[in-house]
Structure 1
Amino acid sequence: MSTANLTRDETAARSSAITARAYRVELDVLTAPDPDRSDFATTTTLEFDATVDATWIDFIGLSVESVTVNGDSVDVEYDGARIAIRGLRPSNVVTVTAVGEYSRSGEGLHRFHDPVDAQTYLYTQYEPSDARRVFACFEQPDMKAPFTFAVTAPGGWEVVSNRTVATREADDTRQVVEFEPTLPISTYLTAIAAGPYARVDSSWSKGDLTVPLGVLCRASLAQYLDADTIFEVTAQGLDFFAEQFDYPYPWGKYDQVFVPEYNLGAMENPGLVTFTEAYVFRGAATAAQYEGRANTILHEMAHMWFGDLVTMVWWDDLWLKESFADYMGALASAEATEWTDAWVAFANRRKAWAYSQDQLPTTHPIVADIVDLEAAKLNFDGITYAKGASVLKQLVAYVGRDAFFEGARRYFRTHEFGNTTLADLLAELEAASGRDLTVWAKLWLQTSGVSTLTLERRKGKGHEIVQTEPRPHTLAVGCYDFDESGALVLSRRLVVDIEEARTPIELTETPLVLLNDGDLTYAKVRLGGYSIRTVESSLDRIVDPLARGLVWSALWNSTRDGQLEVPRYLEMARTFAPTEPNMALLTSVLANASFAVGHYLPAAERDRWRNRWLESCWDAMSAADPGSGAQLAWARALASAATVDDGRATEIRAVLDGTATVPGLALDPDLRWALWTALAATGRADAADLDAELGRDDTASGRTAHRQALAARPDEQVKAQAWAAAWGDVSLSNDHLDAVIGGFRAGARRDLIAEYDVEYFAAIGEAWATRSIEIARRLVLGLFPAADSLVPVDAWLDANAAAPAALRRLVLEQRDHLARDLHVRRAR
């Protein structure tokens, strides 16, 4: 195993022998604007206690120049990932002088050159283990310490970190910025951002506490930054968490920076939260996009307590922060912001992610068995986030909200600035609720899989709820009937506790019976035949958006499980999506319908349905209220549909060149690129067309989109060039690699790319061994063959039993997705 892949056992042994006391990290990024320089100077002074004679310090960079142990210069013992340290005393001071390398993959210290104004931007991203790409450290979450950062940077740059500035020495060309020491935090939570960022300031106060607020983005995006809206959500969240957690915000300031080429949605660095700049909307945005951004802001804010203040010992308990933040993000959105329907999006979109992940052969318990860092990297998944949050929602129903939050408050006070495991949390929740959670935790947190709930008639009379994989559920059964106006409304609701495979229930069947009404528990639900017929004709009459979302979810799960015919689902999408008022539900249905057309239909039916879906998108876009979010959502769906059917290519080109218009449609740069990519994928646009569009939008986003559109053209040589670039061009950034892969796959032209299937399986092992895990993951997932047979992937799995476990996990998951596609196509 590579020494870069730290294991749980060896890090546990290190933390039992080493106690980190303090760090001082000095970074020199003065030459960052020079594109010919890939290196930066980094010096770390570590203070720690030891009960052993020797240990190692983690660092991944270009070189280690010197190591000093307790004042003595020692020989450098460095293998590219670990620096051996010997001759330790009970108390030690070690200084490591090294050379780091700027990242293009979003791991470590990422460098970005903005083509709009030729400015350079830096930011860090570390979770789970990339702080060692920037400074020498003990790279594990349970070795917390205060950090003092000092950064030498070009003059005039904004330089920010977790804490406020202590001193700044500056002239016109350079500055040295030293920050106040942090409170004790883990290495992966430290952060730096530097560059000519545009900044907007505000503040939030409660009682005697005032927290300075900042919002930052690239200068060339500042015209699009709606800082006031972001500050409003931020203040609402701080108000909510201050009341619910009864623990003052501990991190001093609260900066939020939107950064380019980001691998995640956001990261909870205390005092300096980083977000993808996709949340800075360059054009029109739907309500679902604003709601999603608000949810992310609140998710990261919840981490200031769950994850930053109290941190898991090791990545097995990653859920201790992510599940809580996912739950709290939705709860705070619903109760503290304008997004009062946040649980609708959670039930329909976040839980869909969990249901899908939980049915894979690689599913795992919420409390996972994470043996090393490669496994940790892949565990930021639908189980850890959305299933965990769903189970927490069920736990709140089980122990009561007051007890739940009192347990959380006890947890913060008992373990502040420390590290915990599942047992620590359960102890506080049990003390607050008076309930023994041992069995509950075993069934919900330490087992995997999703139950399916069905309502069946009992022999004789009455009904029973039947569940696969029995677990304890507190859930509601909603009986919906038509009122005098013809609307489907709740007529009766029963709250029941179930534990067994079959639970009797007394109810009078109504036109729609909805299991898990209110979405209290985590389970897939099936609609009975009568209920399906009701929603097939009257889905749009369901007044409650959460109930409507649960129906859409049930229909989709039945479709992807091969229980509901794909054309039947698509007809419901074509009929009811055009009148769906909830933007989160509409966005989800549009994505699911597009996926069903591309993956779940037999080849003989695919072309016909591609055209039908294209026409549905065109008609709905044309009929939508001008300038509405629905119109924009349908236009984006049209662009997706038009990549595989050119039936509206003439009209799309006319809209793009201005000879035709869709009244009210905001034809922003991102939508224009989506439409041009569709034309390119179907052979209806050439390189000259795409170059002309780049002339209109010569920005970072425009260049990335241009790269994807060029690779989308249905030409053998174009596909060959894209394939070679994806695997061989190591200069591609993470976003540019995604663009090349997206273009290669655009149009679903198996006739042009099937020849690369064999090469894929020959290449993934070397890519995993030689590229960073982030880049290798994108290659493995993005270029997995969408074949009509499992034979090649099974052959690779058989021949590569000894391949790294994380790589095998990705391939196994892709195999399962393909197997599901093939199964659903046959389920007629």
Structure 2
Amino acid sequence: MTTANLTRDETAARSAAITVRAYRVELDLAAAPDQSRPGFATTTTLEFDATAAHTWIDFLGLSVESVTVNGETVPVEYDGARIAVRGLGPSNVVTVAATGEYSRSGEGLHRFHDPVDGQTYLYTQYEPADARRVFACFEQPDMKAPFTFAVTAPAGWEVVSNRTVATREADDARQVVEFEPTLPISTYLTAVVAGPYARVESSWSRGDLTVPLGVLCRASLAQYLDADTVLEVTAQGLDFFAEQFDYPYPWGKYDQVFVPEYNLGAMENPGLVTFTEAYVFRGAATAAQYEGRANTILHEMAHMWFGDLVTMVWWDDLWLKESFADYMGALASAEATRWTDAWVAFANRRKAWAYSQDQLPTTHPIVADIVDLEAAKLNFDGITYAKGASVLKQLVAHVGRVEFFEGARRYFRAHAFGTATLEDLLAELSATSGRDLTAWAQAWLQTSGVSTLTLERRGKRHEIVQTNPRPHTLAVGLYDFDDAGSLVLTERLEVDISGVRTPVELTETPLVLLNDGDLTYAKVRLGGFSLRTVEASLDRVVDPLARGLVWSALWNATRDGVLPTERYLTMARTFAPTESNMALLTAALANASYAVGHYLRPEARDRWRSEWLESSWAAMSAAEPGSGEQLAWARAVAAAATVQRDRATDLRAVLDGGATVPGLRLDPDLRWSLWTALAATGDADAADLDAELARDDTASGRTAHLRAMAARPDEDVKARAWASALEDTSLTNDHLDAVIGGFRAGARRDLIARYDGEYFASIGDVWASRSIEIARRIVVGLFPAADSLRTVDAWLDEHAEAPTALHRLVLEQRDHLARDLRVRGVR
């Protein structure tokens, strides 16, 4: 039996008995361009002390050839995930020679073949526990050690790791690159990138410290890489964190690589951060996209301290790094870069993720109970990231910014290159703030659920009424019309609340906004008078953060069935065309599209599909030519046209060049979105899509072609897509998403409802046979959008003993469906 899962208890016992001193990892990737070769040679030498006579070493690969313990070759005891080692002494040297497997799922060592130039690219991605797919190791975050990597690769390739190159030997065919030993880090933070990547270099200096900088991407994407902008944000971030953290950047160099078919937005490997290629914009991009990329760059940079320098002991405290990085990414963006409205996007976009996650039946405290790796994999969620960051923003308001950062500095100094827990952090923050944070931590970090704040009038008094009560330090903003007719802040009240009801003294104005400034984490309801004000005058709210909080309140009320969906859509149709903040516009368009598809009864849905498409087309046509607003509306048109064919003739004319939208740049990604819409409504055939692929025969083009082909409304097409998603193990992670996306495109329940039963019959085997990442995409992506919960509930009842992580995913999808059905009943 393969024991790939790892539990908290067994890893704690292992780290109590084993103290790892150093790793040497040798990888032979010279044959990587040969796509017929599934694996690579990997040899690991581990030096460690032990108080036990035996332990295990983790490895997930094709085979283990030999194991040597203290100079003696011993029999290989390998179950496919764990290598048993016996006869240990106080100090040990163990060498494992094995064969790893190249990944197609983005887990471990991912191999990508570029169709543009035929080149091969490699990169690693390990979090939370996939380093063991590349080298034998103690796969748990608390067993930190120095790593020395030696990589054999084809000559001429860029070969990059966490540290700088120590030696390089090369001939005409291959090179052997050995890197300087790392400082002590966890296995999941090590990284190797190799291939003919294009590289742009720079440097950053502060005092006596100079940090070499590199920005890399595939050669065929280099023409689109705006490295100067990336380096500008990088330097601004390093300046900001050096000032705020008062701890020198510790990792020597700072490379940032944009890699293909990536499962994440980015990963904070010290000295070698990897990003999704979606951040290399092949065509026009909105300000919101640039702001989002800057935020991610700064998020990962904050990890160089929060997570890399000081690491959590186990995945229960994942938030210790992710919440801090999410908070710091927004803070640094707002204060150190041109993206001064970063908190607007955070309030409206990131917190929407948290609010949604926190209302699921599987919600959990920020400090979660993570018993094993499968649970850890699913806890990279809106609570760990966005709720945790929101709570940290509240903590700063509670203890003071100066005290907060001084506590962080003490935390770094006390635990540098080691591990820490919640108690360690609270001790430092309590010391600097003079506050006992025990009760605060219990209320915010160790309980789950989101509070809702409503202002109620009781006679001449007003009260803030709170569900799921917690202590909040917040502000109440009073907004009134000025002489120009704009809604502006006239008074701001600072309030501390804790119980169900808190009296406040205020003079009611046209708009009363609870949580003004977005200091705390809570859903806010707009009172009746305030709701009527924004319903008529949302575009007159001048401050973008206040406007973002109003948009957020409206959306939360719609999701909760408090605000009728058509009333929300009417406001979106009225005010989105005048929304000047791109993050708010992007969110409003996405929410409106989702509301039409999920929250309306069938008769209203059909009407709104047509009306929303026409509204989007009109707004696109009226927007400033070449603007981000025009691009955002064009993408909204593509999304709406996927389920409504009224503009099919116009879209084809635009794609064929027979008609134009002045200023609109038809870049490859937008063209594919429009072709997919036409394919989903039956207005484009295979020949059309093949012709577009010939025009854009790139990695992105091939992925988009897969999606569009699977989108066609034909029974045989859907059958092939279904079989491919479930059975074709050669699909990469991106290609699997494309097939699933195409299968679901067009919302054609008449074509795909027949697969509902097969879905529930298959997901157990999918979970058992596929990697967690791939299985998760299938389980979530193919979940039936049914009109009843009966089949879901039957599966849950009959599979109570299913793996916890699988059960959680199905339960969450059930809750989303239940919300859809519940909200549709609200008029």
- TM-score bin, normalised by smaller chain: over 0.9
The residue type paired with residue 427 of structure 2 is A
Matches within 5 A, 1:377-416: 377-416=377-416
In 2, Cα distance between the equivalents of 1:825 and 1:469?
A: 26
In 2, Cα distance between the equivalents of 1:720 and 1:702?
A: 23
In 1, Cα distance between the equivalents of 2:142 and 2:438?
A: 25
In 2, Cα distance between the equivalents of 1:754 and 1:314?
A: 42
Match of 1:744 in 2: 743
Question: Contact 2:2/2:79 (CA < 8 Å) preserved in 1?
Answer: no
Task: Tell me, yes or no, if structure 1 residue 456 matches structure 2 residue 460.
Answer: no
In 1, Cα distance between the equivalents of 2:81 and 2:614?
A: 55
Task: Tell me, yes or no, if structure 1 residue 664 matches structure 2 residue 666.
Answer: no
Count residues with an aligned counterpart. Answer: 827
Matches within 5 A, 1:437-456: 437-456=437-456
In 1, Cα distance between the equivalents of 2:579 and 2:125?
A: 38
SS at match of 2:589: helix
List per-residue Cα deviations over 1:225-272 (Å, max 9, x = no partner). Answer: 000000000000000000000000000000000000000000000000
Match of 1:472 in 2: 471
CA apart distance, 1:2: 5.3
SS at match of 1:720: helix
CA apart distance, 1:172: 1.5
In 1, Cα distance between the equivalents of 2:680 and 2:165?
A: 50
The residue type paired with residue 539 of structure 2 is D
- Structure 2 residue runs of 5 or longer lacking an equivalent are none
Match of 1:360 in 2: 360
Matches within 5 A, 1:256-655: 256-458=256-458, 460-655=459-654
Match of 1:781 in 2: 780
In 2, Cα distance between the equivalents of 1:623 and 1:127?
A: 45
In 2, Cα distance between the equivalents of 1:71 and 1:2?
A: 28
SS at match of 1:261: coil
In 2, Cα distance between the equivalents of 1:602 and 1:142?
A: 51
The residue type paired with residue 266 of structure 1 is A
In 1, Cα distance between the equivalents of 2:84 and 2:399?
A: 49
The residue type paired with residue 786 of structure 1 is A
List per-residue Cα deviations over 1:152-198 (Å, max 9, x = no partner). Answer: 00000000000000000011210000000000000000000000000
In 1, Cα distance between the equivalents of 2:550 and 2:450?
A: 18
In 2, Cα distance between the equivalents of 1:479 and 1:453?
A: 16
CA apart distance, 1:827: 1.6
CA apart distance, 1:768: 0.2
In 1, Cα distance between the equivalents of 2:215 and 2:709?
A: 35
The residue type paired with residue 810 of structure 2 is V
The residue type paired with residue 36 of structure 1 is S
Match of 1:202 in 2: 202
In 2, Cα distance between the equivalents of 1:369 and 1:149?
A: 34
In 1, Cα distance between the equivalents of 2:629 and 2:460?
A: 46
List per-residue Cα deviations over 1:30-63 (Å, max 9, x = no partner). Answer: 1100011111000000000000000000000000
The residue type paired with residue 226 of structure 1 is D
SS at match of 2:338: coil
In 1, Cα distance between the equivalents of 2:414 and 2:421?
A: 13
Matches within 5 A, 1:139-158: 139-158=139-158
SS at match of 1:380: coil
List per-residue Cα deviations over 1:684-720 (Å, max 9, x = no partner). Answer: 0000000000011000000000000000000000000
The residue type paired with residue 717 of structure 1 is D
Task: Tell me, yes or no, if structure 1 residue 165 matches structure 2 residue 165.
Answer: yes
Match of 2:60 in 1: 60
List per-residue Cα deviations over 1:94-142 (Å, max 9, x = no partner). Answer: 0000000000000000000000000000000000000000000000000
In 1, Cα distance between the equivalents of 2:362 and 2:179?
A: 43
CA apart distance, 1:19: 0.3
Match of 1:124 in 2: 124
In 2, Cα distance between the equivalents of 1:29 and 1:500?
A: 61
In 2, Cα distance between the equivalents of 1:499 and 1:704?
A: 51
CA apart distance, 1:605: 1.1
In 1, Cα distance between the equivalents of 2:633 and 2:170?
A: 51
The residue type paired with residue 486 of structure 1 is G
Match of 1:795 in 2: 794
CA apart distance, 1:207: 0.2
The residue type paired with residue 615 of structure 2 is S
In 2, Cα distance between the equivalents of 1:70 and 1:100?
A: 23
SS at match of 1:231: helix
The residue type paired with residue 715 of structure 2 is E
Match of 1:714 in 2: 713
CA apart distance, 1:93: 0.1
Give the alignment's TM-score, normalised by structure 2.
1.00
In 2, Cα distance between the equivalents of 1:164 and 1:257?
A: 15
In 2, Cα distance between the equivalents of 1:39 and 1:206?
A: 43
CA apart distance, 1:462: 1.1
CA apart distance, 1:28: 0.3
- Structure 1 residue runs of 5 or longer lacking an equivalent are none
Match of 1:816 in 2: 815
In 1, Cα distance between the equivalents of 2:460 and 2:695?
A: 69
In 2, Cα distance between the equivalents of 1:421 and 1:373?
A: 18
The residue type paired with residue 651 of structure 2 is I
SS at match of 2:773: helix
The residue type paired with residue 476 of structure 1 is A
SS at match of 1:776: helix
Match of 1:214 in 2: 214
CA apart distance, 1:656: 0.2
Question: Contact 2:331/2:342 (CA < 8 Å) preserved in 1?
Answer: yes
Matches within 5 A, 1:17-96: 17-96=17-96
Task: Tell me, yes or no, if structure 1 residue 759 matches structure 2 residue 758.
Answer: yes
Q: Report the identity percentage.
A: 85
Match of 2:684 in 1: 685
In 1, Cα distance between the equivalents of 2:739 and 2:799?
A: 27
List per-residue Cα deviations over 1:530-586 (Å, max 9, x = no partner). Answer: 111000110000000000000000000000000000000000000000000000000
Question: Contact 2:357/2:383 (CA < 8 Å) preserved in 1?
Answer: yes
The residue type paired with residue 569 of structure 2 is L
Question: Contact 2:2/2:80 (CA < 8 Å) preserved in 1?
Answer: no
